Structure 1
């Protein structure tokens, strides 16, 4: 890295820190940036020359404050900030909110003021957003919280999708990420041959990130959780893209999450009457529907990937349940009643 590049990167890092809190003591800035206090003072002067209003604070150690409400020069972004902004704007543009056009224009505006290197990273990102509210977590996904995924990994995956290059990767099974802290287990996994896939779409759904791909070894379509992916280098050869089943990636992924084999519909769909107001039930039905039957009763129509799961989801409301249809859902309630009674008896 040249001296000029290093100085520019350091100025960006300093500016980013100054924007995150009101006051910064000089010694803490020096420690965070791994530079001397003298270099901090010199970098602050450089930022002032660029038009940023930075006030010096009095005190035993001294400090700095980036003034709010002043007219700042064009925004500067480091790599991670540029990728994060592009991801946020792409997600907003596909979220279904009434900001689609504004998000697209904002992304185009930001792209124009980026240097060529960062502009190339932004152009590599192509994310498909699954809209709508989740009625339950995706089938087969034990995580109930959003995972942490490196922006760099998302860029690498999107770049491979655009370049139509086969990816070589390791894919951790459930819980294997924690076991990888054991060096012996990690080394054992590293000896396995990498999986070979044709990446087709990077997808985000309710805070989770996935890669839709054709698995060359399994000879079939797969949806990979990105937080379990470790890429190997180099990438493989180029490939001719296959068509996602049904021709539309959102419908395909949504159907897979619902446990449906083909159409984007729940394999098990049922109705029931709950002794609750419709307003109390509506926020929790996801893609289901609620019909008011008076002040304190409503009919709910919801789906799931199994009848037992559907019966259990209706039980979470803690209300009297009547008018259950179809017979398969009635049988699922009977099965759960027996199992719950056995569990209560065994626990006493």
Structure 2
């Protein structure tokens, strides 16, 4: 009986995560036979849950329309996942850090004793990664507007803050002119929110930093378009013109690399900027706590470096080259 009850709760949580479930997939998820799944479904129906059968090749079972699941139907692994997610969520949206902490307390209070103890066992200390430079936090209303437009496939009219991410002043040059775009995907990478969108002005795919957008929703619907690359993650990571700006470091320098901008953009650390020069060359601007640090990062690209700025960076590259020459000649022996 206890095993049946646990499976029934697990079954309810599955219906909460997806509307329609084929019988075979339910049996796989629960690690039981299809006959057992049918029996558990009948048990839930007997408890008043309107689980309906959908016939046809794409059919299965679903919770009846208009019925909501009872709150907090979590199994053990889901409870731990929620606890970890709420404590490790990046603070990239204004005000959500406090809300996440309050949500965790609320969830713990509503959990059964066993699950509550499991959640309390995971008290985490989140440390800052100094190589991760998140964008300024986003206003939740902006994120909601963009997310809703992506979901409902509604075009947006957007104005974009200047490349340095500064807030608007009084001059007209503070904004890039309003553009009409079709928002397709939201992507989070290195603590920054990006929007993959199709620009209706110049008919180009672009990647926008959401924290720099000032969107105005419309009711104009659009049809999905195929991305220039099948992998949206690759498309975002290899797009050099995605609105990033150099992070604040003790030292900031730049160099011309004999590599395409798309290759460098994918592997450059967050808080750096890649400028397209031509099909074979780009300029990388980045920072570190020392000039040697920048030189070391540039060396990882394993390509020719020219036009280094400022002079301190060029000097650091020479010093690094001298040290590596000694290592190569001595084999690392003291």
TM-score range, shorter chain: 0.3 to 0.5
Under a length normalisation based on structure 2, what TM-score does the superposition of the two structures give? Answer: 0.45
TM-score, length basis structure 1: 0.44
